[in-house]
Amino acid sequence: MTASQRPVVLITGATAGFGLATAKKFAQQGYPLVITGRREERLKALSEELSPLTSVYYAVLDVRSSEAVAEFTNNLPEAFKQVAILVNNAGLALGAEPADQAKLSDWHTMIDTNVTGLVNVTHSFLSTLKAQPSSTIINLASIAGNWAYPGSHVYGASKAFVAQFSRNLRSDFAGTGIRVTSLEPGMAESEFSLVRFNGDQDKYDQIYQGANAIQPEDIADIILWIAEQPAHLNINSLEVMPTSQAWDNFKIVKK
């Protein structure tokens, strides 16, 4: 496939972390890109950086608003309308306290972003994706959706939704050109933990120091690999951890 034949890639949450690295990775391969997020100055700078490599359209988009998502979808310029690779990446965790100490507003924000936001964008592009000879949805779930750990409550549950939603989409679209993947990373170094701990740089440093965590570029490589599998193959789910991370014992709380 020559660069001019590459399908359009839409990435949500391209202003940082996985989304940013994925935009760069696909741009290096010449894929036309639609990049979105809430921070316009970052989108503009990224668009300027990548424009020598490929065609880029950026739009400020808060995925939590179904109205904004519909308007964004309808207003895509003609050259970018035929989205064939959707990377549903925008998401966040807020807090890691036990459930009874968590803020209800944080729970709502996680559900609104990780569940409602992802559903908004997916629904808005299904007819476009179905019209393509081959298309791919890559949803960012997490190990937190597969395994329980203290302080994960709503975050982990929102990612369990993403994993099951991905499987259910697979079920609906079996035999069509639409492929769906639930990508489930473990600990990765990005702004994610700054957001989770409300900008606390000390906590961020403690978490990542010596952990040799996954880097956003590792995830970008995996996303490109998934998207470039032959059309007859669907990567259903892919869980990846840093080598330094693994499961521990079940806890037993004795009286």
Site residues (vs ligand 8X3, CB under 6 A) = 142-144, 152, 186-187
Instruction: For residue 149, indicate whether it is catalytic.
Output: no
Written as six digits, the tokens of 118 are: 């992802």
Considering beta carbons, is residue 135 or 193 the nearer one to ligand NDP?
Answer: 193
Catalytic residue among 31, 58, 155, 204: 155
Instruction: Give the shortest CB-217-to-ligand 8X3 separation in angstroms.
Output: 17
Instruction: Give the shortest CB-207-to-ligand 8X3 separation in angstroms.
Output: 8
CA 181/CA 200 separation, integer angstroms: 33
What, of ligand NDP, ligand 8X3, none, does residue 217 touch, CB below 5 to 8 Å by kind?
none
Instruction: Give the shortest CB-89-to-ligand NDP separation in angstroms.
Output: 5
What, of ligand 8X3, ligand NDP, none, does residue 38 touch, CB below 5 to 8 Å by kind?
ligand NDP
CA 42/CA 23 separation, integer angstroms: 12
Considering beta carbons, is residue 3 or 49 the nearer one to ligand NDP?
Answer: 49
Which CA distances in Å does 126 have to 53, 131, 150, 169, 249? 28, 9, 35, 10, 42
Which positions touch ligand NDP (CB under 6 A)? 12-19, 37-39, 61-64, 89-92, 113, 117, 140, 142, 185, 187-188, 190-192, 195
What, of ligand NDP, ligand 8X3, none, does residue 32 touch, CB below 5 to 8 Å by kind?
none
Residue 167: name the closest of 152, 195, 149, 145 by CA: 145
CA 193/CA 9 separation, integer angstroms: 26
Considering beta carbons, is residue 163 or 187 the nearer one to ligand 8X3?
Answer: 187
Could you count the other beta carbons within 10 Å of the beta carbon of residue 109?
Answer: 16
Which CA distances in Å does 18 have to 89, 172, 177? 7, 28, 25
Written as six digits, the tokens of 110 are: 């996680």
What residues are annotated to the active site? Answer: 155
